[in-house]
Every structure is written in C-alpha cells, then in structure tokens.
Amino acid sequence: MSSDTILIPGIDTPVSRVALGTWAIGGWMWGGPDDENGVRTIHAALDDGINFIDTAPVYGFGHSEEVVGRALAEKPNKAFVATKLGLNWTDDKPEDRKVFRDSRPARIRKEVEDSLRRLRVETIDLEQIHWPDDKTPIDESARELQKLHQEGKIRALGVSNFSPEQMDIFREVAPLATIQPPLNLFERTCEKDILPYAKKNNAVVLAYGALCRGLLSGKMNKDTSFPKDDLRSGDPKFQKPKFESYLAAVEDFKELAAKRDKSVLAFAVRWVLDQGPVIALWGARKPEQVSGVKDVFGWSLTDEEKKAVDEILARHVPDAIDPTFMGPPNRD
C-alpha cells in the first residue's frame, strides 16, 4: 500500500488519503449551491486521483448527496462515498431551518434509506454519526447501525465529534472503522486524545477542516469578508482582530512551504497526513479548488519543519480557537 492510500476496516480497496469534502457543494452556509460547478469539481477530484468523497444529508438538506450521486452516475468510476447521519432539521424554508442532533434508531434507518436513494447506490461505503446525541443512548444508535451493516446497506461505520468515552460505548455494540474530528494547523485539540485513540484501536481518522475553512488556502487577506449566510461570518477566527493574527501565521507558513517548493495549501494538508493514520478532507466547490492535490503526496515534513510550525503558532496564535461554534444543539 502506497503512502497516498490507506485501508479502512470494512472496505476492501484502499482509498486515497485525501478525500473530497462536499459541504460547500451542498450550498447551505456556503452562499448557495452551484450544481454544475459541483459536478465538475467532483469529476476533477476523480481525475486527480481522489477516490473517496465525504458528504452528509445536512449539507444542503440532501442537496450535496444528490450532486454527489449525479456526478458519480455521470462518470462511472470506482469511488467510495462516506456520508453521515444523526442530524435533523425543522420544516421551515431552507434559510430558516434549525438543525439539531437526532440519532434515534428510527431516524437512523430513515436517513440511511434517504442517503441510498440520493447517492444512487445500493450500499453506503462508510456511514458516520455526525454529532453525538445526548438524548439517545449511544448503544441504541450503534445497535441500529450494526443492523443496517448486517443487512448489507453499510460497509463500514464511523463517528464524528465523539469523545473517547463515547467511542468506547459505541464499540461495545458495533465495530468502529473511522473517527472524524477537526484537525488542521490551527485546530489541534484531537492530538491529545483522538489521534492516540485511533492508533490504539486500529481506526482511521478523517480530519475535517484540513484547510481551516479556506484560511490555509493562502488566498485570503485582511480585506476578505464573508456574507451573512457563510459559515465563516460566525467563526471567531475570521473576525478582527483575530483574523489578522491568523493571516500573519499563514504568511509565515507560506515562507516555510516555499522552501520546499510547495504551496501553503499542500504544506498544510501534508502536515495533517503526517499525524498518523489520517485522511484529510479537502473541501471544494469549484474545479480549480482541487488543483494541487498531487503536490500533497510523496514527501513529509522534517522534524525541523514541524518545530518551525509550532514556533509560528506560538508567535502568532498562542491561544488558538477551537471550532466548537459549529456544534449543533440537542433536540428539544
């Protein structure tokens, strides 16, 4: 197995260690959908060697999954799809909908059937609980997922945003193949507990936010602004004066990357991959946003570069902000 692929327990074929993240393709919280560009983006990712796509029903209330299903039907290719469940939403106009956690067994079964239809597949390669639901016992949710796994509707099971204690409860009932936490140069909390847990329990980490919502693309400046319906308008990293501190760190990362003849984007994703059994989610909504994927493979950061990263962070963002603002509420 080469360094640019990895085996997920339950999936027989290795998947690329960069997966296409499709939240933005769904449109919700990213300024609305653009389906033609979304399809072209997925095709461009496949052409560049990405064979793993991560989506979720809540990404546009089913819309991201529909675009993924359409794109894969138009370009038959052995691509693997990860989706999620465990979030529900109110029956309002899309712009007014409220999202909340809901991992009750009946909801899980409905979400799997809906995802199969939207993705146009008979089996979901990887199904993940998106956020823990404090009002539903984890073992109940895991048991329903295990039933769906045994019925052949799911190949592998994973969780996202779970603590080690919550994952232990899940694993008493069902096998846990993957763990999805936030991880990037600025958001590193999972280094303390999630990464060691994954290594100990033979699970693969799907690192979301590997580009920190575009901050590590190297294309932002102090005048970059975001519309109200853009997720980043509510992210404290993108508000002054913090924004300038993060941008200053990105400039230093650019210099570090340039010494290796790499873009800051490739450098940032490579740093994520160097953390262990990790797949980095590369979010995009336009074809040009996946160019450069190949620059991530075939090299690793040196110990000196890793030390320089830590020094840059200590200098510019010693009190980095965790992405806890993204957590949806429990249901009433």
Three-class DSSP category at 179 = strand
* C-alpha to C-alpha distances, 310 to 225, 252, 305, 320, nearest whole angstrom: 28, 11, 9, 12
Q: What's the token pair of residue 196?
A: 């060691």
Q: What's the token pair of residue 252?
A: 């230093």
Q: Which residues are catalytic?
A: 59
User: CA gyration radius for the chain?
Assistant: 19
CA 56, CA 210: separation in Å to the nearest integer?
17
**206 pairs with which residues across the strands?**
279
Residue whose entry in the numeric block shows the structure tokens 């993108």:
238
- Which of 171, 181, 86 is closest to 131 using CA atoms? 86
**Amino acid symbol at 299:** W
Residue whose entry in the numeric block shows the structure tokens 């950061």:
301
- Which of 156, 201, 160 is closest to 180 using CA atoms? 160
